[in-house]
Structure 1
């Protein structure tokens, strides 16, 4: 079966399950309106004693069962809707997280639905501030996390955050 046939079958499956009404499908900049609120996916944390303990605010592995949707959030850079970039790492980190939250909200989801977050920092010296802000944004929720030191596409961006959410 080729990729096109799989895509058609997937769309047919969604229609059959009637997860969203056709009028609920969001376009760019338009929030999806959910007919039914659904609880988060059932998430099982895996932190085996045979692997080093997490440094804080995450788990080694998350297993999803009974999920209905996956949301893949593209890398969010620290730009406001008007294109302005805040000064300093702390303000940029908070803005990038606000952008992640906005995408989650547009899909009718919240931080409790995040299952994987990857943060790209431009400097190792940002690690502690990044961890502090991430914990404030996530509260008690602990998704799987990866932090990478990398160069961003635009040098004015000091970080980028991508994420996966499940319902």
Structure 2
């Protein structure tokens, strides 16, 4: 698959390393994850936004691996935050896990998620 990160000519530069668009030519396979929350395999939920984001990206990495994908194959990330003050933590996690990939990205602040224990939810699309 050929991947082209599109800068959005004439648009402002993103505040974190994401692309305004990602063009995937001749994809072999596409994987969409369900929205991932910070649920560990044992059913527990870590406390705090940083710990939850770390667990979420570990979960996403495991799902990608199940499908024969890696983080480098992610072309879009959609993040649902429950508080505006979580943006800094979200940016740090994004940079750690996906900063060199520069996928297209959407982040929204929502009133709540399925359980008050969950502070954030992330879904991705990967293409190879």
TM range (shorter): over 0.9
Q: Could you tell me which residue of structure 1 aligns to residue 119 of structure 2?
A: 158
Aligned residue in 2 for 1:58: 18
Which has the higher relative contact order, 1 or 2, with Cα contacts under 8 A spaced 6 or more apart? 2
Answering whether residue 69 of structure 2 is matched by residue 109 of structure 1, we say: yes
Q: What is the aligned partner in structure 2 of residue 143 from structure 1?
A: 103
Q: Does 1:120 align with 2:80?
A: yes
RMSD: 0.9
Q: Aligned-pair distance for 1:49? A: 3.2
Can you give the 5+ residue segments of structure 2 that lack an aligned partner in the other structure?
none
After TM superposition, the score normalised by the length of structure 2 is 0.95
What is the total number of aligned residue pairs between the two structures? Answer: 127
User: 1:120-149, CA deviations, whole angstroms, 9 ceiling, x for partnerless residues?
Assistant: 010010001110111111241110000010
The structure carrying a bigger helix percent of its residues is 1
Residue 119 of structure 1: how far off its partner (Å): 0.6
Alignment correspondent of 2:41: 81
Q: Deviations over 1:80-134 (max 9, x none)?
A: 0111000111101100111111100111110010000001010010001110111
4+ residue runs over 4 A deviation: none
Query: What TM-score do the two structures reach when normalised by structure 1?
Result: 0.74
Confirm whether residue 133 of structure 1 aligns to residue 99 of structure 2: no
Partner SS for 1:74: coil
